[in-house]
């Protein structure tokens, strides 16, 4: 088993942006998930939100956040995003957010997909907190990534 090390530190232990200049430009994708747990009365009130449709505002927030990831996370590279999507699935316990980001670049888009999921979840909280402040944001994680030297990663399902 090879010993892996964190890539964002140089030999002296100082924070360092990874040099990707020698990496191949490849098609890369990432899919992430977040879950916003909320009581049934908040779910029922979503269509009547006076601030607007929380899910559509959260969709725009997620897309915008993906585009600004390098501004928000200090050592992330600025990427030319080809596509970002933010989708929602409602169930009795809350709202599942699934995001997808795509690029053709020298580094992956995992952080962009996860940033989109996190900001979409925070936006839903912001738009519904007046109804119940106990809403929880849970399980922000990478579901899948493709492309690059490390190839494909798929999160094992947890059942």
Determine which one of 19, 48, 91, 126 is catalytic.
126
Distances (CA, A) of 136 to 5, 91, 92, 108, 158: 33, 15, 14, 29, 20
126 classed as catalytic: yes
- Taking each helix axis as running N to C, give the angle between helix 110-128 and helix 54-67, from 0 to 180 degrees, rounded to the nearest 10: 150
Please count the other Cβ atoms lying within 10 Å of the Cβ belonging to residue 90. 13
Active site residues: 126
């Amino acid at each position: 088993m090879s010993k892996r090390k964190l890539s964002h530190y140089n030999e002296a232990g100082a924070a360092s942006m990874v040099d990707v200049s020698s990496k191949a430009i490849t098609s890369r994708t990432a899919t992430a998930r977040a879950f916003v747990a909320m009581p049934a009365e908040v779910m029922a009130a979503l269509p009547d939100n006076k601030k607007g449709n929380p899910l559509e505002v959260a969709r725009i927030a997620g897309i915008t956040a993906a585009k600004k990831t390098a501004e928000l996370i200090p050592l992330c590279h600025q990427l030319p995003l080809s596509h970002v999507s933010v989708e929602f699935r409602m169930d009795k316990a809350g709202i599942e957010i699934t995001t997808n980001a795509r690029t053709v670049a020298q580094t992956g888009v995992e952080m962009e997909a996860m940033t989109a999921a996190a900001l979409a979840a925070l936006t839903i909280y912001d738009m519904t907190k007046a109804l119940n402040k106990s809403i929880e944001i849970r399980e922000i994680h990478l579901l899948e990534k493709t492309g690059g030297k490390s190839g494909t990663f798929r999160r094992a399902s947890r059942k």
